[in-house]
Amino acid sequence: MFLLELKGVYMGINYRKTKALSKNVRLTVSKNGPSISVGKKGARVSINKDGIRGSVGIPGSGLSYSKQKSFPKGSKVKKTASIVAAMAMVVIMVYLILR
């Protein structure tokens, strides 16, 4: 993890960029890797290299509930999810460049 020191205080640096692929599908690229999420405001399912997360909430209220289901360490599912996410990201980047 990259840390930045300002006046004796260490801060972690984060990065996140989100692109809407359609009305209800989003691609997010962060320092932890790519993820794809599907859903509307108030209910969303996301998948990344670590697992699947479901989130529900009341829009505008700040109240939400989220549950993560992690892939087993070293499992083929985790490796496959990482490969599929990377391939999807490359295809989307090529599409965005060529359009």
Any domain includes 62: yes
* Residue 1: per-residue pLDDT: 46
Please report whether residue 99 resides in a domain: no
Residues 26-68: tens digit of each pLDDT: 888 888 788 888 888 889 998 888 888 899 999 889 999 999 9
Indicate if the pLDDT at residue 4 is higher than 80.
no
pTM above 0.85, yes or no: no
Within-domain flag for 34: yes
Amino acid in position 47: I
* pLDDT at residue 58, rounded to an integer: 92
> Closest Cα to residue 70, out of 53, 46, 85?
53
Q: Which residue segment(s) compose the domain that 85 sits in? A: 16-92
The pLDDT value given to residue 56? 94
Cα–Cα distance, 33 to 81 (Å, whole number): 11
Whether residue 85 is contained in a domain is answered as yes
- Decide if 32 is inside a domain: yes
Q: How many independent structural domains does the chain possess?
A: 1
Indicate whether 2 belongs to any domain: no
